[in-house]
Structure 1
Amino acid sequence: EGVTVEDMNELLSVDKAGWLAELADVEKNHYPKFGDKLPQELKDQIKVITERLSK
């Protein structure tokens, strides 16, 4: 006995719509609090992750 294929698929699934909404919220409501002190790398990562989730 162990983890079924269906359970494993569920465990490894990614809620793309949920993550895209979360990333948009972070970019819109959280990042602006840091102004010009926010490292460009964090902005770049949001863009990269958003692009990957949009595929």
Structure 2
Amino acid sequence: MRDIIEGPPEPGAPPPPLWKRLAWFVGLALAASAVTALTAYAMKALLPDYPGG
């Protein structure tokens, strides 16, 4: 049976291609930004509305 979670790379193993590492970085950065924005809008929706503010 194939492992679902891979272990760390072997010492001396070549790193993954640059495009793959950059794709992971960009994907994680966009996901983090989206979660932060959604959390901010959700918290803002919980605040009461003040007249004139």
Question: When the two structures are superposed, what TM-score results if normalisation uses the length of structure 2?
Answer: 0.36
* Bigger CA radius of gyration: 2
Normalising by structure 1, what TM-score? 0.35
Higher helix share: 1
